Amino acid sequence: MKKLRTILLIILFLLLAGVISFYFYIKNLSKPISSDQNVIDVRVEIPSGMSVSKVSKLLKQEGLIRSDKLFYYSARFPQINKIFFPDEEEFTFTLRSGIYHIQNNMNIVQIQKNLSSGQQEYIRVSIPEGYTISQIAYVLEENKICSALDFIQICKSGKMCLQYNIPGDSCEGYLFPDTYFLTAGMNAESVAIIMINNFFEKIKSVPNLSEMNDEDLFYTVRLASVVEKEYAVADEAPIIASVFKNRLRRNIGLYSCATIVYILTEIEGRPHPDRILIEDTKIDNPYNTYKWAGLPPGAISNPGLIALDAATNTPKTNYYFFQVVDAEQGRHVFTSSFEDHVENHLTVTKRAK
C-alpha cells in the first residue's frame, strides 16, 4: 500500500511538473518577440475576408509572434488569454480588415486588440478634377480601396441617384475631386457616399449653387463638366462657360471635343484618341455636341470648384467661339463671329507650321 502511494505521488509530481513546464513553455511563446529597446514597426495588410488562421501565419511570417498556433487558439478561445495575461483587460477579438502598424514588442493580446480596434492606416487618395467615374474607380482599385467594377456599378445604379435626387442615370459629376483618406477593403458604396456628400458640402462655397433645385443643379453640373474638360487656365473658365451659354441660348451645338472623347472612351470603351477625326464628330450618340444642340444628357466628368463656379456665376459676353492660341499654356482666343473664328484658326494653323 505504501509502495502504491509512493508511485501515485511520483506520478502526481511528474504530472504537476509537466503542467508547470507546459505553462512556462506556452508563456514563453506568448511573449513579445523583442524588448522595448529593439522595436521594429511592421506594416501589416489584412484584406477583407482573410481568416484568423491566415492572419496568424502572416504575423509569424512577419516576425511579430512566436507561434501562429497559439495566436490562433487564443483568438478563438479567449480563456487562454485570461490564463497567460491576467492583467490584460478582457475583450472580444473581432478581426477587421485594413492596414495596421504592429510593433514586435507587443504581446499577442496587444496585437489582437490592435487588429480588433479598426484604427487602421489611412490611404491618401487624390482624385484630379475632371476625372470620370471609371477613372476614379481605377484609382481606387490601384490603391486597394475597393473594386473598380463595384464602384462603377454603384455609381451608375438607380439607388444612388434616387438617394441624392440626381435626375440623371449615374452619379457622374457629383463625385467631388479631392484628396481623400480612405482605408483598404472599403465597401464601394461607402466610398461613393463619402465623395457625393463631399460634393454637396463643397458647393456651399459657390455663390448661388447650393440653393438650386435638383434640375437646375443637374443642368449646371453638366455644363461645368464640359467646361472642366475645356479650360486649362483658371481665369478662362468663366469665359468658356459664357461661350457655351451663349450657344445654348441660340440652340447652337457646343461643338466640344471633350464630349466626343467621352463617347469614345467612356461609352465605347476605346483608348483615348490622339486627335478627334471628322468621322468621330458624326457618331450618332446623344453626348455628341457636334451633332445635337444642347447639353449632353449627363455630365462628362466630375468638375472642381473653378468649373462649377464658372458654370454658375457666368459673366455676360458676346463670344460664341474660342480657339487655342498657346497650346503650351492652354490659352485661348475668344471671338464673336464665325468669320473671326475662321481667321484665328488659319492664323494658329500657319504658326504651327
Q: What is the per-residue pLDDT across 123-145, written as a single tens digit (0 to 9) for each?
A: 899 999 999 999 999 999 999 89
pLDDT band at 345 (very low <50, low <70, confident <90, very high): low
**Which SS3 state, helix, strand or coil, does residue 182 take?**
strand
Q: Which of 52-66, 75-89, 105-119, 149-163 has the lowest mean pLDDT?
A: 75-89
Q: What is the distance between the alpha carbons of residues 339 and 67, in angstroms, rounded to a whole number?
A: 81
Alpha carbons within 13 angstroms on the beta-carbon side of residue 71 total 28
Mean pLDDT of 204-229: 97
Which pLDDT does position 243 carry in this prediction? Answer: 96
Q: Check whether 343 has a pLDDT greater than 90.
A: no
pTM score over 0.75 = no
Q: What is the distance between the alpha carbons of residues 140 and 132, in angstroms, rounded to a whole number?
A: 12
Residue type, 290: Y
| Cβ atoms of residues 319 and 242 within 8 Å | yes
For residue range 180-212, what is the model confidence (pLDDT) as tens digits?
Answer: 989 888 889 999 999 999 999 999 999 999 999
Percent of the chain with pLDDT over 90: 52
Percent of the chain with pLDDT over 70: 85
Q: Which of 1-5, 56-60, 160-164, 293-297 has the lowest mean pLDDT?
A: 1-5
Mean pLDDT of 20-44: 69
pLDDT band at 265 (very low <50, low <70, confident <90, very high): very high
Which pLDDT does position 308 carry in this prediction? Answer: 98
Q: Check whether 334 has a pLDDT greater than 60.
A: yes
Q: What is the distance between the alpha carbons of residues 254 and 19, in angstroms, rounded to a whole number?
A: 84
Which pLDDT does position 22 carry in this prediction? Answer: 53
Q: Check whether 351 has a pLDDT greater than 60.
A: no
Mean pLDDT of 217-244: 97
Q: Check whether 353 has a pLDDT greater than 80.
A: no
Mean pLDDT rounded to a whole number for the chain? 86
Q: What is the distance between the alpha carbons of residues 211 and 203, in angstroms, rounded to a whole number?
A: 10
Question: Could you give the residue ranges of the DSSP H alpha helices within the chain?
Answer: 2-29, 52-61, 68-76, 79-84, 108-117, 133-142, 148-155, 158-163, 188-202, 214-230, 237-249, 257-262, 305-312, 338-352
